[in-house]
Amino acid sequence: MPHDHTTITTGIAGLDEVLKGGFPISNIYVLKGIPGSGKTTAALQFLRAGVEQGERCLYVSLAQTGEELRQIAASHGWSLDGIDIAELSATEDAAMAVDQSIFQTADLKLDETRKAIISAIDKYAPRRVVYDSLLEVRVLTGDDARFRRELIGLKTILAKRAITGLLVDTDTDHGRSRDDEIEAIAHGVIRLDKTLPDYGVARRRIEVSKMRGRPVADGYHDMVIREGDGVVVFPRIVPRVAAEQTKSLDLIKSGVENLDNLLGGGQEAGTTTLVIGQAGTGKSTMASLYATAALKRGEHVALFLFEERVETFFRRSEGLGMDLRGFSEDGRLLIKDFNPGEVTAGQFGQIVQEEIARDRTRVVVIDSFTGYLSALPNRDQAVQDIQSLLKFLARRGVLTMLIVAQHGLIGQNVSIDVDVSFLGDTVLLLRIEEDGHRLRRSITAVKKRHGPHAMSVHELSITADGVSVSPSSLNRVD
């Protein structure tokens, strides 16, 4: 997102979008979180972004040594060249020069600390300052009134010099009183959240809990810490910000005439189709069918797998006469698989949006939505997130196919973990039943919001020669 002259970039991928431009200049901001939530990494990104802009940057550390900061940077392959480090820790007198000097924080008086900070600022004349951390200031002040005075004093020092400051704070058990002091004085407050599920990697989120005088994308946004990239934020999808596709598009066809007739000639762009059925009914085959037809028409397709490896998908499709490898190799088919527990809803949404941003993809397949839900810790929230993603895709004129698995193998006693029928504009129900000495597959269009469709049940045949739907008279319902 471009920045105007009143804002500066945070240096954190995705956070500028949440802030709708970045940090307003010459203010102080508080970055809060528990140990291990990514505060120091984010602070270094903030300063590195300043260096890239040609700004002088200063890291004032009461909590970590310069060597520790360099080790954190090295873990991402970063250099701290251009960032001045003032350590206020260890054993020497506070009046000594702050360039790589070492003081013992616990022994410093507040006025000595303040003088050392001012000396560092005057020496380096930075445009950005990180102050790490407020936890040590809490220890030195001892009471709320003095803590508040110190914060106001620091804010005044930075404001007079037109410096943008990021104050790092650690969530503790001190209660809300001092947190309230910080939030009242700071121009903005950003919170990093980290939780450990019973299974899988740590889940991280970020929230802009305060930003004075500017609109932000409020609420939690997923984030990760990636080697080389540092903190990466995945802004929550807001469907209305997507450009509306107003161009009238042709119906999207499957390439199987009787199936298209079942759906009134085809499926509309900008809609969502749920393909629901038990194991073995042909749900993933339907995904392959529509993907192949779209690719043969010269369109682009994105296919996201949560239960099947890419190679397995290719081999199964090839066994039905649908060769998709070549389309993947020439870039028209984007196909990705995901390991359970290693992707967040926000991260997945970002991947989909980036693909759609190319403005070429007309069909998106998520196979399966059941696997997607299983990969996320909060299913109710996952359904809300996918609903926002589907609305975003609809506005871009994309046909989205969600594969939904039912429990059970054969018969009518089947169910779905979560009711998702409201997500679909079209619902295709696939079933498999015993018929004498054989199993028979069937397909029915039980719902279609746009245009006519047939309500009759048709036999679905899946063989090495491909997919076919039995012809029968269509009892159309408008």
Asked if 267 and 167 sit in the same domain, the reply is: no
Asked if 221 and 264 sit in the same domain, the reply is: no
Q: How far apart are the first and last CA of the chain?
A: 45
pLDDT at res. 172? 67
Q: CA quadruple 250, 366, 224, 241: dihedral positive or negative?
A: positive
Asked if 230 and 315 sit in the same domain, the reply is: no
Q: Tell me, yes or no, whether 297 lies in a domain.
A: yes
What is the C-alpha to C-alpha distance for residues 378 and 270, in angstroms, rounded to an integer? 27
Provide the number of structural domains found in the chain: 2
Q: In this predicted model, what pLDDT tens digit does every residue of 303-322 receive, in sequence order?
A: 999 888 999 999 988 888 88
Asked if 203 and 260 sit in the same domain, the reply is: no
What is the C-alpha to C-alpha distance for residues 63 and 133, in angstroms, rounded to an integer? 6
pLDDT at res. 104? 43
Q: In this predicted model, what pLDDT tens digit does every residue of 271-311 receive, in sequence order?
A: 999 999 888 888 989 888 999 999 999 889 999 998 889 99
Q: Tell me, yes or no, whether 2 lies in a domain.
A: no
Whether residue 31 is predicted with pLDDT greater than 60 in this model: the reply is yes
Asked if 133 and 230 sit in the same domain, the reply is: yes
Asked if 216 and 266 sit in the same domain, the reply is: no
Q: Tell me, yes or no, whether 1 lies in a domain.
A: no
Residue 439 or 128, more confident: 128
Q: Tell me, yes or no, whether 268 lies in a domain.
A: yes
Asked if 327 and 380 sit in the same domain, the reply is: yes
Domain boundary among 220, 236, 252: 236
What is the C-alpha to C-alpha distance for residues 99 and 194, in angstroms, rounded to an integer? 34
Domain boundary among 201, 221, 236: 236
Asked if 209 and 265 sit in the same domain, the reply is: no
pLDDT at res. 230? 95
Task: Report residue 254 as tokens.
Answer: 């499957």
Domain housing 138: 7-236
pLDDT confidence bin for 440, thresholds 50/70/90 = confident
User: Mean per-residue pLDDT for 186-201?
Assistant: 87
pLDDT confidence bin for 240, thresholds 50/70/90 = low
Task: Report residue 447 as tokens.
Answer: 């719902």
pLDDT at res. 415? 54
Asked if 247 and 200 sit in the same domain, the reply is: no
Whether the Cβ atoms of residue 98 and residue 88 lie closer than 8 Å to each other: yes
Asked if 176 and 301 sit in the same domain, the reply is: no
What is the C-alpha to C-alpha distance for residues 2 and 65, in angstroms, rounded to an integer? 35
Q: In this predicted model, what pLDDT tens digit does every residue of 84-114 receive, in sequence order?
A: 999 985 334 434 433 444 444 434 467 788 8
User: Mean per-residue pLDDT for 425-448?
Assistant: 87
Whether residue 4 is predicted with pLDDT greater than 50 in this model: the reply is yes
Domain boundary among 236, 264, 283: 236
User: Mean per-residue pLDDT for 438-463?
Assistant: 86
Whether the Cβ atoms of residue 3 and residue 21 lie closer than 8 Å to each other: yes
Q: Tell me, yes or no, whether 125 lies in a domain.
A: yes
Asked if 227 and 263 sit in the same domain, the reply is: no
Instruction: Please provide the average confidence, as pLDDT, over all residues in the chain.
Output: 84
Q: Tell me, yes or no, whether 216 lies in a domain.
A: yes
Q: Tell me, yes or no, whether 193 lies in a domain.
A: yes
pLDDT confidence bin for 243, thresholds 50/70/90 = low
Asked if 184 and 247 sit in the same domain, the reply is: no
Task: Report residue 386 as tokens.
Answer: 């996918």
pLDDT at res. 477? 40
Q: Which residue do the tokens 């990180």 mark?
A: 130
Q: Tell me, yes or no, whether 376 lies in a domain.
A: yes
Q: In this predicted model, what pLDDT tens digit does every residue of 249-267 receive, in sequence order?
A: 678 899 899 998 888 888 8
Least confident of 42-56, 151-165, 199-213: 199-213
User: Mean per-residue pLDDT for 237-255?
Assistant: 70
Whether residue 28 is predicted with pLDDT greater than 90 in this model: the reply is yes
**CATH value at residue 25:** 3.40.50.300
What is the C-alpha to C-alpha distance for residues 445 and 273, in angstroms, rounded to an integer? 10
pLDDT at res. 383? 81
Alpha carbon distances (Å) from 109 to 104, 151, 178, 228: 10, 15, 20, 38
The candidate with the shortest Cα–Cα distance to 299, out of 328, 332, 266, is 332
What is the C-alpha to C-alpha distance for residues 94 and 102, in angstroms, rounded to an integer? 9
